[in-house]
Structure 1
Amino acid sequence: MSFRNFTTGQSHGFGGTYLKLVPGEMLVYSDVFDDPNLPGEMTVTVRLTAVSVGTEMTVVQENVPDVIPVEACYLGWQDSLRKLAGLVEPEITG
């Protein structure tokens, strides 16, 4: 998988392994970047919890390379979730 920053034009490839899956509750996976400037292996844990108005999602990223600002992680998740919403939310007209 890869992603591109449209502002800078830079792109990064990465891969990983699914480590744990509890349907409807939790997903744990690893991320390893192809770029040697982004060393190490990150672990991402996504937890889903039913709440009265839908589903709460909690994401924890561990071992994020030092060169990636925490703010960029938050921004990346927000952008990804906005794009996902655009794909799955119905367009109600009239």
Structure 2
Amino acid sequence: QVHHMDAHVGGTYKMSFRNFGTGSSHSFGGEYVELVPFEKIRYSDRFDNPNLPGQMHATISLRQVSCGTELTIVQEGIPEVIPVEMCYLGWQESLVQLAKLIEPEIPD
């Protein structure tokens, strides 16, 4: 769920994820640090849960290639209790969901 999103440098966002199987959720938010249209999104990220301390930073770089867009994601400052593999899996799941929203279904 997106609670608010003010996408400009210095703007903030607040979101939460819910596990529909267990009902548990966690919320997080941060600030947009750098926005370069068609090239880069950099933002800070902090969980509301005190058991997930610290501030993270994510940098999403976009590069036009012959067959679409190359996407590179770098996350820094991930809390030690979160396995890096779970971050990778989370991004993969999010990108699959994004593809479902934006890829057209063209009937035969």
TM-score between both structures, scaled by the size of structure 1: 0.94
Alpha-carbon separation, structure 2, partners of 1:24 and 1:33: 27
Distance 1:71 1:8, change over 3 A: farther
Q: Which residue of 1 aligns with 2:8?
A: none
1:67 aligns with 2:81: yes
Residues 42-86 of structure 1 show CA distances to partners (whole Å, capped at 9, x for unaligned) of: 000000011111110000000000111111001100000000111
Cα offset, 1:4, TM superposition: 1.9
2:53 is equivalent to residue 39 of structure 1: yes
Identity %: 65
Q: Shift in Å at residue 7 of structure 1?
A: 4.6
Unpaired runs of 5+ residues, structure 2, are: 1-14
Once residues 89 and 20 of structure 2 are traced to their aligned partners in structure 1, the CA distance between those partners, rounded to angstroms, is: 14
Q: What CA RMSD, in Å, does the superposition of the two structures yield over aligned residues? A: 1.0
> In 2, distance between residues paired with 1:32 and 1:22?
22
Moved more, 20-29 or 8-17: 8-17
User: How many angstroms apart in 1 are the aligned matches of 2:39 and 2:99?
Assistant: 19
Which residue identity does 1:90 align to in structure 2?
A: P
1:90 correspondence with 2:104: yes
Q: Quick one: higher RCO (CA 8 Å, sep 6+), 1 or 2?
A: 1
What is the rounded CA distance, in whole Å, between the counterparts of 1:76 and 1:33 in structure 2? 15
1:50 paired with 2:41, answer no
Judging changes above 3 Å, is the alpha-carbon distance between structure 1 residues 6 and 72 closer, same or farther for their aligned structure 2 residues?
farther
TM-score normalised per structure 2? 0.83
Please state how far the C-alpha of 1:10 moved relative to its aligned partner. 2.6
**Length, aligned pairs only:** 94
Q: CA deviation at 1:6?
A: 3.7
